[in-house]
Structure 1
Amino acid sequence: MTTTPTPPRIGASEPAASLFDHLRAAGHRLMPTHALSRLTYHVARARAPWFKDRLNRFFAERYALDLTQSELDDPCAYSSLNALFTRALRPGARPLPDDPTAIISPCDGTISAIGTLSAGRMIQAKGIDYAASELLGALYDECFADGHFATIYLSPHDYHRFHAPIGGRLRCTQQIPGRLLTVAPPAVRSIRGLFLRNERLVTRWQTALGPVALVAVGAVNVGSITTVWSEEGTPLPRGQLRHYGENGPAFERGAEIGRFNLGSTIIVLFPAGSITWTDGLNSGDRIRMGEWLGTHPGGTA
């Protein structure tokens, strides 16, 4: 696959919210989402075959899971609903681009927003923007002020592991506490500052492009976010920073870096001038982990 340079754009995003979107979001804000997520956490890890087999079959049928690229193609072969949800891909299922300058999608999902930051602000939906400095907390860097970003929503149908979009070394992480509001498209269109309100794991990487940030945003029913460098659950007490410096773990492009234990959103930010988006990508487009997100114009990614 080849890419065609496209002119800079402020952003493509979800359309403006409808009245129905606002009504749904208002109802969701009243729900005890943390309590519901704790309940889901335990239900999703139930291992009794009589229960989990029925649950897994129902989930696979309800959300039309495509297990043809998964390690196991029978939903009942997974030990729990969470194991089905966080299923691995079979080896070779997602060959990466041969071009070393290709930057890949870190996950499967639907592009919610993509474009260029304007004075440090990112588009959430039509008429709604937010500050990258608030999203990234203590890990914000001025190189992102006029940089580039992509927001990818993972629905229950999707593969829920996330991977390195380019090769790099983990420099620091911060787990930022917050709510667990839904990040489904109606909420994105209607809840101002949604991604700033929710719990999130912010990671910053040193790459050939310079600093790159990847944010895993929690949502309702996300009991925890697992990373490959930590035990299950959030890797740090809430709000605290961890600096790895030059000794942080290094990952090649496409390497798994974490997974959602029930689904959410990935936001990735690049420095100004470091990426040319793949021609034609727009809000609402489906994309899979390993597919071209863009190209690094200056060298190997």
Structure 2
Amino acid sequence: MSPFVLLQHITPQHLLTRIIGSLAASRTSWIKQPLINWFSKTYKVNMAEALEPNLEAYDCFNDFFTRALAPEARPFSPNPHAWLSPADGEISQAGKLTGDRILQAKGMHYTATQLLGNSNWAQEVRGGDFCTIYLSPSDYHRIHMPCDGKLTDTSYIPGKLFSVNQKTAQGVDALFARNERLVCRFEGEQGPFYMVYVGALIVAGIETPWGGREVLTRAPRNRGHDHKLKQGEESGRFLLGSTVILLTPKDVASFENCQPGTKVQVHVPLNYRKDDI
């Protein structure tokens, strides 16, 4: 086990995350402004893409971190034949589920049942396709719909808060199924699909258009929904970065051409639906 991964095992993950979350939500100028300025410079954030490029215009670090982009930064034309990237980030892994198993890193797998926390839901994507996208600190942190879908259910699952970068993915078994996460089930034109928003160390929460702030470290909860969202529409935000996992049923989509390490952006096709390839 690497020292980096070992350190995460002994770190009080939830306490540290709550402390960082409080700082990120602070509207006190001498706290929020140096934090925003340092972060923007350290991670070379491209503010030319932002709807509001002035760093001093944000009321708190969270507002800056979840900043909206100017419309021209991510051009969007609806494409009913494509699965679009739900996030800016880097493809961690993508391809087919081997039965119920999802590839995490070379030689390491976890199951859809573990990830979704529901064996019936896991059965819906058995033998299907997945795409795991890692959002780095410098990325745009709003999540968008890959296709039209009706939100039917969400499940908040408590857990650990390991980092989700590649080094940790190679060192922690079933990482994404161990961390806290919000599972969103949608009904699409060709059946159900899932987006899983995975929490991580110092990720202070996940925010959705339908539920508001989904603050981490709470008890598990399941909710039924009936919200229709269009392709490209915003479906969530990370308050500090993390990972999104897209799961589709068998013979609906193919992400096998999405190579690990490839950078992707919102609204760019991951691949076309199989009927249209």
TM value normalised by structure 2? 0.94
Which one of 11, 14, 20 corresponds to residue 40 of structure 1? Answer: 20
Contact 1:124–1:130 at 8 Å: present in 2 too?
yes
Aligned pair 1:172/2:149, yes or no?
Answer: no
Larger strand proportion, structure 1 or 2? 2
Distance 1:278 1:95, change over 3 A: farther
Distance between the aligned counterparts of 1:131 and 1:147, measured in 2? 12
Q: Quote the offset at 1:277 in angstroms.
A: 3.2
- Match for residue 132 of structure 2? 151
Q: 2:65 aligns with which of 82, 85, 96?
A: 85
Structure 2 CA distance for aligned equivalents of residues 69 and 254 of structure 1: 18
Cα deviation, residue 236, structure 1: 11
- Pairs within 5 Å for 1:24-103: 24-97=4-77, 99-103=79-83
Q: CA deviation at 1:123?
A: 0.4
Unaligned runs of 5+ in 2: none
1:163-182 alpha-carbon deviations (Å, 9 max, x no partner): 11110000101000101111
1:254 partnered with 2:235? no
With over 3 angstroms needed to count, the CA separation of the structure-2 counterparts of 1:77 and 1:207, relative to structure 1, is: same
In the alignment, the residues of structure 2 paired with residue 127 and residue 269 of structure 1 have an alpha-carbon distance, to the nearest angstrom, of 20
Are 1:97 and 1:292, in contact at CA under 8 Å, matched by a contact in 2? no
Which residue in 2 is equivalent to 1:202? 183
Task: Provide the rounded CA distance (Å) in 1 between the counterparts of 2:216 and 2:61.
Answer: 22
1:1-301 pair list within 5 angstroms = 22-97=2-77, 99-138=79-118, 140-234=121-215, 238-244=219-225, 248-277=226-255, 279=257, 281-298=258-275
Q: Residues 129 and 236 from structure 1, CA distance in 2 versus in 1: closer, same or farther, beyond 3 angstroms?
A: closer
Instruction: Name the amino acid aligned to 2:131.
Output: A
Tell me, yes or no, if the aligned pair for 1:174 and 1:236 is still in contact at 8 Å: no
SS in 2 for 1:298: helix
* Distance of 1:231 and 1:63 partners within structure 2: 27
Q: Distance in 2 between matches of 1:25 and 1:208?
A: 41
The structural deviation recorded for 1:234 is 4.1
Displacement of 1:140: 1.8
Change (3 A) 1:228 1:77: same
Percent identity reads 36
When the two chains are superposed, the root-mean-square deviation of aligned CA atoms in Å is 1.8
Q: Which amino acid aligns with 2:109?
A: D
State the distance in 2 between where 1:97 and 1:209 align.
20
Superposition deviation, residue 96 in structure 1:
2.3
Q: Can you list the C-alpha shifts for 1:196-252, whole angstroms capped at 9, x where unaligned? A: 1110000100001210010000001111111000122349963221122xxx11000
* Structure 1 unpaired stretches of 5+: 1-18
Provide the C-alpha distance between the structure 1 equivalents of 2:233 and 2:172, rounded to a whole number of angstroms.
33
- Distance, in Å, in 2 between the alignment partners of 1:82 and 1:131 is 32
Q: 1:98 to 1:172 in 2, by over 3 A?
A: closer
Give, in angstroms, the shift of residue 184 of structure 1: 1.3
Q: May I ask how many residue pairs the two structures share in their alignment?
A: 275
Residue 98 (structure 1) shift: 5.1
Q: Which moved more, 1:84-93 or 1:153-162?
A: 84-93
